[in-house]
């Protein structure tokens, strides 16, 4: 398992070692010891999974304290463009984002610590996305920013006219109106 730092501190790309043979493949998707050695010492409390059609865009979401979440995200089948936005006000990368294509084929994962907004755009039909979190979901703690905010300038890899949004995501504020709860 190779764990690499991105351009934003704390945001990590995990590349598992894949063992292929005539039966298929095997890989270790999580190893607490290796994550702890990389500085990610968390206890996961919940696993979530979504199934999405091509063009579905989920995000940009997060949760404020005391329910702030770190997420370990991956794709079981299909492809997504995964995006994490730094919302730690004191960070030199505040408002910056990292995007990475994650797929069932490349088996990459992204560790997104608390203090980030997260979202993904589905690039293929029948995409199954899964993630582990280190805190429970709490509706009252939800925070977010609209996906197409011009200040963030995120290229989601899909035409804006093809984006499928939830009614809730259509109403998220822009980045200038957003009050980050993270220092």
Catalytic, 61? Answer yes
DSSP secondary structure of 80-140: EEEEEEE-BTTSTTTT-EEEEEEETTT--EEEE-SSEEEEEEE-STTEEEEEEESS---GG
Strand, coil or helix: what is 48? Answer: strand
Per the CB < 8 A criterion, the answer to whether 111 and 67 are in contact is no
Task: Find the catalytic residue in 25, 118, 131, 137.
Answer: 131
**CA dist 84 to 17, 26, 77, Å?**
24, 28, 20
Task: For residue 26, give Cα distances in angstroms to 33, 53, 74.
Answer: 19, 26, 15
* Cβ partners under 8 Å of residue 176, min gap 6: 151
Of these residues, 25, 30, 53, 61, which one is catalytic? 61
**Nearest in space to 2 (alpha carbons), one of 94, 90, 109:** 109
Q: Which residues are catalytic?
A: 61, 131
């Amino acid at each position: 398992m190779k764990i690499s730092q991105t351009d934003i501190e704390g945001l990590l790309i995990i590349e598992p070692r894949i063992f292929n043979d005539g039966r298929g493949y095997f890989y270790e998707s999580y190893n607490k010891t290796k994550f702890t050695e990389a500085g990610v010492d968390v206890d996961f409390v919940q696993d979530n999974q979504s199934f999405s059609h091509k063009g579905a865009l989920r995000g940009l979401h997060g949760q404020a304290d005391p329910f702030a979440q770190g997420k370990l995200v991956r794709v079981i089948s299909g492809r997504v463009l995964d995006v994490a936005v730094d919302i730690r006000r004191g960070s030199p990368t505040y408002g910056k984002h990292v995007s990475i294509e994650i797929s069932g084929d490349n088996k990459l994962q992204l560790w997104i610590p608390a203090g980030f907004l997260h979202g993904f755009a589905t690039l293929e039909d029948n995409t199954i996305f899964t993630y582990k979190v280190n805190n429970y979901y709490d509706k009252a703690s939800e925070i977010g920013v609209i996906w197409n905010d011009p200040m963030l300038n995120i290229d989601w890899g899909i035409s804006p006219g093809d984006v499928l949004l939830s009614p809730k995501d259509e109403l998220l504020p822009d980045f200038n109106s957003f009050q980050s709860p993270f220092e």
